[in-house]
Amino acid sequence: MILRYALLPMLCLFMMACGSSQSKIDEIKARSVAAKPEPMSYEDAVKDWRNNIGVGPIKSIELGEIDQELVATGFDAFDLKCTACHDPYKEKIGPAMLGVTERRRPEWIMNMILNPTEMAKTDPICLGLLAQYNAVMADQRLSEEQTRGILEYFRTLTLEN
């Protein structure tokens, strides 16, 4: 307590004595108190999934008929970069992928793959999943083309497969 009183005049003295060293210190202070907006709750966000495209490079996707070539690209990329943590049909480190296209927007799925680090900071669904699974999704540096392929592959997942 007393020490705090002692340090205050010390600091003043330092500033008086050495003049112009405030600019950088102020800069750092300003950076360290950037405000964070309150995210939506996970439950509300899951209900509202149709309005959530996530954050990342993908702003809108038109889905057509299943493109088998894209599915093949997607299968290869998923097998190489994702299967250490995701099984198509059952929970592994992360959730099963079966039915994901029925519960998330295609844009959200692609942004989750392409931009997982930012998603884990701001997206309310991603934040909720992080809490459930206790594991961050790795950024596996997939290309947009590979990611689009993975989305197409996810669309083909059914229990009959």
Partner 1 sequence: MKNSIFKIAAFMIIAIGGGYLLTQCGTSSPDKGGGVLSGSTAEEVFVAPGELDEYYAFMSGGYSGQMGVYGLPSGRLFRVIPIFSQDAEKGYGYNEETKPMLETSWGFIPWDDSHHPELSQTNGEIDGRYVFINGNNTPRVAKINLTTMETEEIIEIPNAGGNHASAFITENTEYITASTRFSVPVPQADEKIASYADKFNGVWTFISFEEEDMEIGFQILAPPFNWDLAHAGKGESHGWMFFSSYNAEKANTLLEKNASQLDKDFIAAVNWKLAEEYIAQGKARDMQVDFRNNEWDESTQMATSHTRNTVKVLIPEECPGLVYLLPTPKSPHGVDVDPTGKFIVGGGKLSADMAVHSFDKMLKAIENEDFETTIDGIPVLKYDNILQGIVKQPGLGPLHTEFDGRGNAYTTFFISSEIVKWKVETQEILDRVPTYYSVGHLMIPGGDSRKPEEGGKYMVALNKITKDRYLPTGPELAHSAQLYDISRDKMRLLLDFPTVGEPHYAQGLLASRIKDKQVKTYLLEENKHPYVTDRESRVKVEREGNEVHVYMTAIRSHLAPDNIEGIKVGDEVYFHVTNLEQDWDVPHGFAMMGATNAELLIMPGQTETLLWKPIKVGVFPFYCTDFCSALHQEMQGYVRVSPRGSNVPLSWRLGDDTGGADPAP
Q: Which residues contact partner 1 (rule: CB under 8 A)?
A: 2-3, 5-7, 9-10, 13-14, 17-21, 24, 27-28, 31, 79-81, 83-85, 92-93, 117, 134-136, 138-142
Between residues 63 and 89, which has the closer beta carbon with respect to partner 1?
Answer: 89
Between residues 113 and 125, which has the closer beta carbon with respect to partner 1?
Answer: 113
Shortest distance in whole angstroms from residue 36 CB to partner 1: 17
Evaluate whether 126 touches 112 at the Cβ level (below 8 Å).
Answer: yes
Per-residue DSSP letters for 108-123?
HHHHHHH-HHHHHHH-
Between residues 63 and 84, which has the closer beta carbon with respect to partner 1?
Answer: 84
CB atoms closer than 10 angstroms to residue 157: 16
How far is 25 from 14, CA to CA, in rounded Å? 13
